[in-house]
Structure 1
Amino acid sequence: MTAPHPGEVRWHDVGFAYPEGPPVLDGVDLVVADGEVVLVVGGSGSGKSTLLRTVNGLVPHTTGGRFRGAVGVGPLDVTGLRPRDLAGAVGFVHQDPEAQVVVDEVEHDVAFVLENLGLPEADMRRRVEEVLDAVGIAALRHRSPSTLSGGERQRCAVAGALAAAPAVLVLDEPTSMLDPQGADDVLAAVARLADDLGTTVVMAEHRLERAAPLADRAVVLADGRVAADGAPGPVLAGDPGAPPVAHLGRLLGWDPPPLTVREARRRARTTPVALSPSPVPDPPAPGEPLVVARGLAAGHGGRTPVLRGVDLTLHRGEVVALVGRNGSGKSTLLRTLADLAAPEAGTVDRRGRVALVPQDPSSLLFSPTVRDEVAETCRLVGRDADEVEPWLARLALTDLADRHPRSLSTGERQRVAVAAVAVGGAPVLLLDEPTRGIDATSRAALEAAATAHAAGGGAVVIATHDVELAARTATRVVSLGGGEVVADGPARQVLSGSLFAPQVLRVLPPHLTVAEVAAALPTRTGGPR
């Protein structure tokens, strides 16, 4: 019998449940061939992260719980091995990049796994240099990870996994916190590993517009089982999280639906689309100011300010998308607006309460159940607990209300954190990367809640790298660059001038979303947004 190739990954009848929890995986049978790139998709809580963590033994060795079945990597039986035993064979990137930081300097942190593998110093230096360049973080080599933005830490985690040149690379939402350029850099580095070195890649990702074109196969998980497995096009075409151009193709009857902008533009040229000349909708007029910031400068103390001379006014009725590269100052601006960080210069005039949901939802979650978590906010601010159930329903959390928040997936915890903050009734909600790691259904619920809050006279600021979210939801886009406001205006105006414009805008301008195209068809046709 031929020995398995080093990069082959096998699951046989794998089932798993966390301690005192329901089954998360239930009879998974799957084989990933050596050198294959497989994209794992599914709703929040479907078991994607748990499945990935079985590849290097994180599940069950660091989690406990009830495990059955067998997992193999090449000739190795993972079931009897611990993560440290697999460090040279499996590179792993967590959904939470903070979980992988070991050393207090980027360059040394990337080299940590190589030191443990006993590589000669010359080889270590070469590999570290190569991966720092590959993911675009050479300029950060002497920085402490604690001073980096979430997206910069995520790129460092990817670099650390690439450094060991593993036979299998496992990536759990590797671009969830990255700006468009950073996401392209990381996925390009992954593609080079797969194409040039034959590295096997198993990746869970919700941002399918970038990840789908890289994949040889797509595997859909639902309720801990493999629900679909095949070529990305047919498998993903009907998925709610499919790229916008796929939804556009379904609306316009393109068969098969495209997965890339290039393919969609070609279809639009060969099959012209007759759209109504009616004007695209204008954003609603903003109401009175709720927050006025003037001349803001802020930083981390003793370093060059992260923000420099920022002027920003937030009005009733607005949903503002705050965009910009990793490290541009988005999170610092939100913390300063929320009075969680003192400005070094300038003023902030708050005409009502301002509430912030940070990037890490776990920092807000302490109660034993989801319902208790949301109710605790009402208690602290003296509001009627009658608001708890409506917010649970609004963010599709009713079925999770009796679960412990920390037993949930990252995407589910994000929604709980938003509900726990929003129920407090603050007129201004600041959401820092709220769609990180959440599925399309959860994202739609969050977008609807943000739009409803603004329509009710509040204001919402969403710091995001997701231009598709900005296109669907924002009335206004503010772009930061180098700590300064480099663009501020209606969403259509700012996004139209971007190199990373939404997919539909690049195919059928001036339309931003599939919903706008549907409304412009001569015979109105419904379709996903």
Structure 2
Amino acid sequence: MSTEPFPVGSPAQREADRLIVRAEELEVVLPDGHGVGPWSAEIRAGEQVLLLGPSGSGKSTLLRTLAGAIPSHQRGWVRGTVQVDGIDPVSGGVLAVAGRVGYLGQDPSAGVCLPRVDEDVALPLENSAVDARCIGPRVEAALAAVHGEQLAERASSTLSGGELQRVALAAAQVSGPSLLLLDEPTAMLDAPAIRAVRSAVETALATTRPAMILVEHRLDEWAGEQGLEGLPGRTIALDRSGHVIADGPTGQVLDEHAEALREAGCWLPQQFEHDHARPSSGPAPEPPASPEDPVLTMRDATLSRGAVPVLENVDLDVHAGRVLAVVGRNGAGKSTLLGALSRLDAPTAGLIEGGAAGLVFQRPSAQFVADTVREELAASGADDERVEQMLRTLDLVEQAEQSPHRLSGGQQRRLSVGAMLLTERPVLLADEPGFGLDRAAARTVADLLRAAAREGRAVALSTHDLHLVQSADEVVVLADGTLHGPMPPSRLLADTALLRRAGLRDATDPEHRPAADARPGLTPDPRSGHPRRGVLARRNPTVLLGLLTALSAVAILLTDPLPLAVLYLLAAAGTMLGCRIGPLALLRAQVPFALFAAGVLMVNLLSRPGEVLWPDLPVRITREGAVLGTALALRALLIGLGAYAVTRATDPRETMVSLQQHARLPARYAYALLAGRRLLDDLPARWATITRAHRVRLPLHDDGTVPRAGVRTLLRCAFAVLVDAVRSASHLAFALESRGLGEGERTVWRPVALGWGDAVLVISVVACVIAVLLLTA
């Protein structure tokens, strides 16, 4: 990824010499005592830097500091000075450097903040007041650069992790930042998707020539066929304490410090690895179990994601004492297969029989059920002695009383594996156990899995990591909806075509486009949970909200059931015509409002004093209670029906834009509400993940199946979802600010106009209401 020098004295040369980052004795210390620095360096335009160091050395902390997130979004103490393109990100915060810094973090779900993809990529341009006519082409170009043109109109909630990563990268570089910060951009990607991300970065470097700082564990995958030449030309290496041990040309730094970096726990390019064949500390033992004695079997199974089949005609045996690797491209069905083997997800067809399985989820934090690390291990049913022994094995003795959520990513992964090992189930399943780990953490996890197999358990893991594939006893490949294998790893590694189908090798064709890895079948409309049809869908959202407010005010003032009933019937007819919805669908949509209205009616019928209507009844019902209760119930139904009609007819983004244009709602509030909608769209998936993660920790039935969650488990899940939502909200707030969302001048890419149809609608509704009031007076 080296660049050609410019002619001396040319404008391009002067631009290349522009100083982007200047740090003098910069040191950042987090509340837990970890940090990075002191660091002094200069980085110029177009310069590419690899930031290398073990987990916990402060790489992400340094990148977040340069992006302005510390201390404005994350507590920390900063000493020394730093400037990014002439601005101090520490004192100015995220907004001060927005537009100059493009940031891509480790968690792809935190990098996309609006409900629809093209709107999210357009947001930095709108906030930079780019001419609205230029925004569309630039959004298309940014998505094309990450091979994501087909994602433009997709809902963010329907994207896979790899697709989210590509969209987040498009948004990070669409405005042409001076500094591009990439924090493990390939952590969740298969080989074709890595090519797309790397290609997008190369395009940005060639066109706008930003400075770039890259944090990456998968160096061989990032470099591709170029080898060492495919890596940034400069490397800054950190030791475990966060101090700089080297800063210079990449080849020189790796030559001089390879041994120290390996010992500290860093992955290095293959040519600098002396033990790259396996992440474990020793060779895999001969598997003790015979193939005729599987612990877990799957026969003629069809596995689905939602209503869409993902894998068909699956036959698989999982053997005691063996490690089975499951490989395939993003979206091929690896997690689906492990979910079925764990008995959390029943197959659509076919049979699963055998021993009980424990499942380690891809996101360890979703699986935690206790307040401390020690309690998390004890929740698996182990006695105190085994818990203490596991703490020592996991190297988590010092963190025993900490919250699991405060651990680093590698520590969380080790804890989740250790907790599931303590359940002593005969089968252990692990979904991407090497995700985001450095060499030391990956070695620990791999050793734990190998030790479990050595003790006689069956181990199956999904992975994109060739190190783990090489250390497995057998491997299966998921491709094109079918399962290939099992086979020895050596056979897969010798078959280039099969490696490409598995997503472990990239195609050599430079025009190759990675296949979409969406989660299909989740929503029929890219912007909402239903198709927007009918005349109301073409009306201005601010007008619809104004009419709803006025109609609600009229309903609140009325106490006579007759006009309320007439207004309700007219509103129901208008909703069916205006939204093109049938009567049965409308009735189903009104069930929550009907239940609330029924409760209001019953309370008033039984509690209101007045003239008793039926003295012989065992309950006292008064005329006043019946009249007022009916009016209040009709009021609730009318307001609920109006809210449903407006929600169904409007698009969230158009609503917020319209409120900015016509109701002068500040952009910060409008887009915060849109980001909240993005979070709400994700809540069903988050709830499903967390409930599954908690269920897998429950004692299993005798046949190895997973019980349903009880009330106590569901309450714990609800609290976990709340905590996860709060954490995600803080991430979204950072993402919005990093896109430049502030109080300054901005443009709107797709303004929402007021038209004659809106005026006609207002006049019609007002006339109907007045007529009803006059006729029922």
Contact map agreement 1:209 1:243 (CA 8 A) in 2: yes
Matched residues in 2 for 1:178 and 1:286: separation? 35
What residue in structure 2 maps to residue 401 of structure 1? 400
What residue in structure 1 maps to residue 351 of structure 2? 347
Q: Per the alignment, in what secondary structure is the counterpart of residue 477 of structure 1? A: strand
What residue in structure 1 maps to residue 575 of structure 2? none
How far apart are residue 191 of structure 1 and its match? Answer: 2.5
What residue in structure 2 maps to residue 36 of structure 1? 47
**Structure holding more strand per residue:** 1
Over 3 Å counting, the alpha-carbon distance change for 1:209 and 1:393 in structure 2 is farther
Q: 1:373 aligns with which of 371, 376, 400?
A: 376
Matched residues in 2 for 1:44 and 1:112: separation? 33
What residue in structure 2 maps to residue 109 of structure 1? 120
Q: How does 1:387-466 map to 2 (within 5 A)?
A: 387-466=386-465
How far apart are residue 440 of structure 1 and its match? Answer: 0.5
What residue in structure 1 maps to residue 300 of structure 2? 295
Q: 2:269 aligns with which of 215, 240, 243?
A: 243
How far apart are residue 461 of structure 1 and its match? Answer: 1.6
Contact map agreement 2:492 2:498 (CA 8 A) in 1: no
How far apart are residue 25 of structure 1 and its match? Answer: 2.2
Contact map agreement 1:422 1:429 (CA 8 A) in 2: yes
Over 3 Å counting, the alpha-carbon distance change for 1:281 and 1:408 in structure 2 is closer
Larger displacement relative to structure 2 (189-198 or 67-76) = 189-198
What residue in structure 2 maps to residue 219 of structure 1? 236
Over 3 Å counting, the alpha-carbon distance change for 1:140 and 1:495 in structure 2 is farther
How far apart are residue 442 of structure 1 and its match? Answer: 1.0
Q: Per the alignment, in what secondary structure is the counterpart of residue 355 of structure 1? A: strand
Matched residues in 2 for 1:99 and 1:312: separation? 36
Contact map agreement 1:377 1:421 (CA 8 A) in 2: yes
TM-score for both structures, normalised by structure 2: 0.56
Larger displacement relative to structure 2 (112-121 or 314-323) = 112-121
What residue in structure 2 maps to residue 130 of structure 1? 141
Say yes or no: does 1:174 pair with 2:173. Answer: no
Task: Name the amino acid aligned to 1:13.
Answer: E
**Structure holding more helix per residue:** 2
Q: Per the alignment, in what secondary structure is the counterpart of residue 309 of structure 2? A: coil
Over 3 Å counting, the alpha-carbon distance change for 1:232 and 1:305 in structure 2 is same
Over 3 Å counting, the alpha-carbon distance change for 1:371 and 1:79 in structure 2 is same
Matched residues in 1 for 2:124 and 2:439: separation? 35
Matched residues in 2 for 1:475 and 1:424: separation? 23
Q: Per the alignment, in what secondary structure is the counterpart of residue 386 of structure 2? A: helix
Contact map agreement 1:173 1:437 (CA 8 A) in 2: yes
Contact map agreement 1:8 1:200 (CA 8 A) in 2: yes
What residue in structure 2 maps to residue 478 of structure 1? 476
Greater Rg by CA: 2
Deviation per residue, 1:430-470 (Å, 9 max, x gap): 21112122110111111111111111111222211111221
How far apart are residue 474 of structure 1 and its match? Answer: 0.9
Matched residues in 1 for 2:143 and 2:87: separation? 30
How far apart are residue 500 of structure 1 and its match? Answer: 8.5
What residue in structure 2 maps to residue 10 of structure 1? 22
Deviation per residue, 1:350-397 (Å, 9 max, x gap): x2221111111111235443233222223xxxx323222333333333
Deviation per residue, 1:65-123 (Å, 9 max, x gap): 32322221111111222223322111111101111221223333333333333333442
Q: Per the alignment, in what secondary structure is the counterpart of residue 58 of structure 1? A: coil
Q: 1:330 aligns with which of 325, 334, 339?
A: 334
Task: Name the amino acid aligned to 2:298.
Answer: A
What residue in structure 1 maps to residue 674 of structure 2? none
Matched residues in 2 for 1:284 and 1:199: separation? 55
Matched residues in 2 for 1:466 and 1:198: separation? 31
Matched residues in 2 for 1:105 and 1:483: separation? 28
Contact map agreement 2:324 2:459 (CA 8 A) in 1: yes
Deviation per residue, 1:463-512 (Å, 9 max, x gap): 111112211x211111112332144311111121135969xx99xxxxxx
Task: Name the amino acid aligned to 1:352.
Answer: G
Q: How does 1:152-171 map to 2 (within 5 A)?
A: 152-171=163-182
Task: Name the amino acid aligned to 1:312.
Answer: L
Matched residues in 2 for 1:490 and 1:410: separation? 31
Deviation per residue, 1:180-222 (Å, 9 max, x gap): 1211221232123224432211111111213463211111122
Contact map agreement 2:89 2:96 (CA 8 A) in 1: no
Contact map agreement 2:236 2:247 (CA 8 A) in 1: yes
Over 3 Å counting, the alpha-carbon distance change for 1:146 and 1:300 in structure 2 is farther
Task: Name the amino acid aligned to 2:304.
Answer: G
Contact map agreement 1:295 1:311 (CA 8 A) in 2: yes
What residue in structure 2 maps to residue 260 of structure 1? none
Calculate the aligned-residue CA RMSD, in Å.
Answer: 2.9
Over 3 Å counting, the alpha-carbon distance change for 1:16 and 1:40 in structure 2 is same
Q: Per the alignment, in what secondary structure is the counterpart of residue 181 of structure 1? A: helix
Matched residues in 1 for 2:304 and 2:98: separation? 37
Contact map agreement 1:36 1:194 (CA 8 A) in 2: no
Q: Per the alignment, in what secondary structure is the counterpart of residue 115 of structure 2? A: coil
Matched residues in 2 for 1:71 and 1:286: separation? 61
Larger displacement relative to structure 2 (364-373 or 198-207) = 364-373
Q: Per the alignment, in what secondary structure is the counterpart of residue 299 of structure 1? A: strand
Over 3 Å counting, the alpha-carbon distance change for 1:41 and 1:456 in structure 2 is same
Matched residues in 1 for 2:498 and 2:74: separation? 39
Say yes or no: does 1:25 pair with 2:36. Answer: yes
Deviation per residue, 1:233-273 (Å, 9 max, x gap): 2323413211223225999xxxxxxxxxxxxxxxxxxxxxx
Q: What is the identity percentage for the equivalent residue pairs of Structure 1 and Structure 2?
A: 38
Over 3 Å counting, the alpha-carbon distance change for 1:250 and 1:485 in structure 2 is closer
Matched residues in 1 for 2:204 and 2:102: separation? 12
Q: 1:362 aligns with which of 360, 365, 374?
A: 365
Task: Name the amino acid aligned to 2:475.
Answer: V
Q: How does 1:133-282 map to 2 (within 5 A)?
A: 133-211=144-222, 213-222=230-239, 223-237=241-255, 238=258, 239-240=261-262, 241-248=267-274
Matched residues in 2 for 1:286 and 1:195: separation? 56
Task: Name the amino acid aligned to 1:207.
Answer: R
Task: Name the amino acid aligned to 1:413.
Answer: Q
How far apart are residue 399 of structure 1 and its match? Answer: 4.3
Over 3 Å counting, the alpha-carbon distance change for 1:494 and 1:407 in structure 2 is same
How far apart are residue 308 of structure 1 and its match? Answer: 2.9
Contact map agreement 1:294 1:309 (CA 8 A) in 2: yes
TM-score for both structures, normalised by structure 1: 0.81
Matched residues in 1 for 2:168 and 2:46: separation? 22
**Which residues of structure 1 form unaligned runs of 5+?**
252-279, 507-529
Over 3 Å counting, the alpha-carbon distance change for 1:454 and 1:249 in structure 2 is closer
Deviation per residue, 1:136-179 (Å, 9 max, x gap): 23333333333333222222222221222211110111001110
Task: Name the amino acid aligned to 2:472.
Answer: A
Over 3 Å counting, the alpha-carbon distance change for 1:312 and 1:130 in structure 2 is farther
How far apart are residue 15 of structure 1 and its match? Answer: 2.5
Task: Name the amino acid aligned to 1:480.
Answer: L
Q: Per the alignment, in what secondary structure is the counterpart of residue 177 of structure 1? A: coil
Say yes or no: does 1:320 pair with 2:324. Answer: yes
Matched residues in 2 for 1:402 and 1:227: separation? 32
Task: Name the amino acid aligned to 2:269.
Answer: P
Matched residues in 2 for 1:27 and 1:392: separation? 32
**Which residues of structure 2 form unaligned runs of 5+?**
1-13, 223-227, 278-283, 506-777
